[in-house]
A and B are shown apart, each in its own frame.
Chain A
Amino acid sequence: MDFSYSEEQTLLSNSLRKLLEDSYDADKRRKIAASERGFSDEAWTRYAELGLLGLPLPESAGGFGGTAIDTMIASVELGRALALEPFVATVVMGAGAIRLAGSPEQQEAMLPAVAEGKLKLAAALGEPQARFDLDDVSTTAAKAGADYVLNGRKAVVLGGDSADKLVVSARTSGGATDRAGLSLFVVEASAAGVVRRGYQLVDGRGAAEVTLSDVKVPQSARLGAEGGAWPVIEQVSDLAISALLGEAIGAWERINELTLEYLKTRQQFGRTIGQFQVLQHRMVDLTLEYEHAKSLVYLAAMEADSTAASQRGRAIAAAKFFVDDKGRQCGEHAIQMHGGIGMTQEYVLSDYVKRLAMISHTLGDSDHHLARFARASTGKA
């Protein structure tokens, strides 16, 4: 049993922190977020140089063959810096689906380009009517000769605004929420019939609503067996959750640092407000919940690569519930302890609170994961 970073992981974490400190300060980050593109191409190139964009990809595809733990550790740093680039969308989700389900030819065609920073991806899995249930898929893929024709709508696709290609889930058979009958397709973002409405999320990252109208894709665009994509969809989502939870831990760490620093400097009634017991105990609560969240996020990362869906799902659901529930609450406490300054857009605390809030509605909220955990724990997954 070991909960520490390995030497390589410490190195990764340190070099990424340094890179991010160079690339991002609060002002720079806001300028980048306000730009049309919404993220920094320069940072993206530097990620590629560092090896971040190939971190979980197979060595045969120019990657590092890293684990979900490595991805989580990198994500902690991305969360601390509130990085805006579509790392989760491209590397964890899009490339994750290709890595897990793609043929050697498909992997060869796309993954090296991802690792080099030349190809951006997004996984279009959620739909407007589905809330957080990724098996609730109305998008259809109908066979037409040697091709498939896709029709449907995809909701809040993370990184969907900037992706070159979309990995789309579509129904090739079965009823509205059947897990059998789901297939994955790689669709060019520029293909005829694809309409993207891009926008910024609350935390500054990019996403899109995607409409597919009679989009024709060849059979070779299908990832894995027809109708058999559910296990891949579920695992890609779990891997993405594990990475997002790493970001959440990084953001939460900063929230605690900022709040503690404020308690030690802000003066009221002739003393620093950190001398008031009511605020001391609240700060201890933030620390306590953060430490427990970190333990569960480590567990989630240790399970995320497993194909044993029930045990993996239980760990992911526990961590996602805890972070969504307690992390958001700690963000609220942090604003309260800061008072007025915590309400301003200018002060960086707000950016961290927003990212935690946004993660709490990505790939399942606390209710979704509490129910999932309860099912997994009673053997009714």
Chain B
Amino acid sequence: MHLSYTPEEEAFRQEVRQFLAEKLPKDLSAKVKSGKRLAKEDYMRWHRAMYEKGWVTPMWPKQYGGCGWSPVQLHIFDEETFAAGAPRTVVFGIKMVGPVIARFGNDAQKAEHLPKIRSGEVFWCQGFSEPGSGSDLASLKTRAVREGDHYIVNGQKIWTTLGHFADWIFCLVRTDTNVKKQEGISFLLIDMKTPGVSVRPIITLDGEHHVNEVFFDNVKVPVTNLVGQENKGWDYAKFLLINERFGIAGVGQCKEELARLKEMAQTERKNGRPLIEDPLFAARVARCEIDLMALELTNMRMLVAEQQGASAGPLSSILKIRGTEIQQKLAELQMDAVGPYANPWMPEALDATWNGEPVGPDYAAPKTPSYLDKRKTSIYGGSNEIQKNIIAKAVLGL
């Protein structure tokens, strides 16, 4: 039992740091650190930098462009990129549909899609949730009916993150209505330029446009866009969700947010002293920091176990639960740290090109929107209640 990194792991950390120092644009990290709104091009600049380095799809199988990194290396990469102020990787191509195509797709699909996911030429979004199918995802109703060489798709997807940036969408669709709900689902790749696809924005409670509704009105999708076998889509969706569990705890991101919180709490004053010296506020920060230490170590324990061939399996759902709770708590503490300046509603201040006079400290404006936005974390990716159902069933045998 020891906590030290191997010399190889330390050398890798140095390599990552050097890459970040050279290739992460300074204006981009400044935007991320100050909570400004990111444009599609911001995400793509960072994507291309990683692509050129060969690091954009580290967890893919090696023959498709993976790096063969160990779980510990993935953790180091995650930690360092967040500490440097890199934007969150857009997960839909590289962490979601890419691995599914690499595992279950045919050769033509691999040749067509994998290189474009890696280069960033095609921006993907995810079509899983529907208005009537949230936690009960398998009840989804979007229909795909086979007609010759095409499926005709009708229905609606919702909460489609960055759908307004996307070129393609991967969808779960119903191809059989006469069987158990999980057994009639297929996994389809759909070009969003196809006639009949329309995207409508949903403005979330932070006043921002992150998510969308996507409508399908008699959309003709070539059957060559079916991944794997018809009616096996639920299996691929489960693979996708399990595959997503690396990094879902958000340890690197949380450490960076904690550092920002502490900086702010040094600057903010209470009773003429730095806020961080107020015993009540200090206690709230300390509780959250201890939870984060526990999460980081538990994440490492599970990663190292994975590396040693003893996977934690579905128990790793606890990382999603606690990780999202901590992300929410940190956003809440940052909002509380700015006191009354949490209240002014200044959406214009989130624009990096805005030159106006800030109300209160210049870091205050994004805090309440971010607090509101973070509520989503315990809902998406399988709500935390669904995660508990999974643990109860698969780990505890209840």
Residues of A in contact with B (beta carbons under 8 Å apart): 1-6, 9, 69, 260, 263-264, 274-275, 277, 280-281, 283-285, 287-288, 291-296, 298-299, 301-302, 318, 321-322, 370-371, 373-374, 377-378
Supply 14 further A-B pairs (C-beta < 8 A) apart from A3-B300, A292-B291: A1-B2, A1-B4, A281-B388, A281-B392, A284-B391, A284-B392, A288-B318, A291-B298, A291-B315, A298-B301, A302-B1, A321-B290, A374-B282, A378-B282
Structural contact, B388 and A370, CB atoms closer than 8 A: no
Structural contact, A2 and B1, CB atoms closer than 8 A: yes
Q: List 22 A-B contacts (CB under 8 A).
A: A1-B304, A2-B304, A4-B1, A69-B1, A264-B397, A264-B398, A281-B385, A281-B388, A283-B396, A285-B388, A288-B391, A292-B294, A292-B297, A293-B294, A294-B298, A295-B297, A295-B300, A296-B293, A302-B3, A321-B290, A378-B276, A378-B282
Structural contact, B286 and A370, CB atoms closer than 8 A: yes
Q: Given the complex of chains A and B, what is the CA–CA distance between A373 and B294 in angstroms?
A: 14
Q: Given the complex of chains A and B, what is the CA–CA distance between A9 and B301 in angstroms?
A: 17
Structural contact, A3 and B289, CB atoms closer than 8 A: no
Give every chain A residue within 8 A of B4 (Cβ-Cβ): 1
7 nearest A-B pairs in the assembled complex, by CB-CB distance: A295-B297, A280-B392, A292-B294, A374-B286, A274-B398, A284-B388, A295-B298
Give every chain A residue within 8 A of B322 (Cβ-Cβ): 288, 292
Q: Is B353 an interface residue (CB 8 A)?
A: no
Structural contact, A299 and B283, CB atoms closer than 8 A: no
Q: Given the complex of chains A and B, what is the CA–CA distance between A373 and B389 in angstroms?
A: 34
Q: Is B53 an interface residue (CB 8 A)?
A: no
Q: Given the complex of chains A and B, what is the CA–CA distance between A284 and B385 in angstroms?
A: 10
Among A3, A277, A299, which residue has the most Cβ atoms of chain B within 10 A? A3
B1-30: contact bitstring with A at CB < 8 Å (1 yes, 0 no)? 111110001000000000000000000000
Give every chain A residue within 8 A of B321 (Cβ-Cβ): 288
Structural contact, B297 and A260, CB atoms closer than 8 A: no
Q: Given the complex of chains A and B, what is the CA–CA distance between A277 and B318 in angstroms?
A: 17
Structural contact, A318 and B392, CB atoms closer than 8 A: no
Residue of A nearest to B276 (CB): A378
Main secondary structure of the interface of B (DSSP, over half): helix
Distance of A191 from chain B, by nearest CB (Å) = 41
Structural contact, A3 and B396, CB atoms closer than 8 A: no
Q: How many residues of B contact A (CB 8 A)?
A: 42
Structural contact, A298 and B391, CB atoms closer than 8 A: no
Q: Given the complex of chains A and B, what is the CA–CA distance between A318 and B291 in angstroms?
A: 9
Q: Is B90 an interface residue (CB 8 A)?
A: no
Q: Is B279 an interface residue (CB 8 A)?
A: yes
Structural contact, B396 and A284, CB atoms closer than 8 A: yes
Among A69, A295, A370, A371, which residue has the most Cβ atoms of chain B within 10 A? A295
Structural contact, A299 and B293, CB atoms closer than 8 A: yes
Structural contact, B290 and A322, CB atoms closer than 8 A: yes
Structural contact, A292 and B298, CB atoms closer than 8 A: yes
Give every chain B residue within 8 A of A377 (Cβ-Cβ): 286, 289
B131-161: contact bitstring with A at CB < 8 Å (1 yes, 0 no)? 0000000000000000000000000000000
Structural contact, A280 and B388, CB atoms closer than 8 A: yes
Q: Is B178 an interface residue (CB 8 A)?
A: no
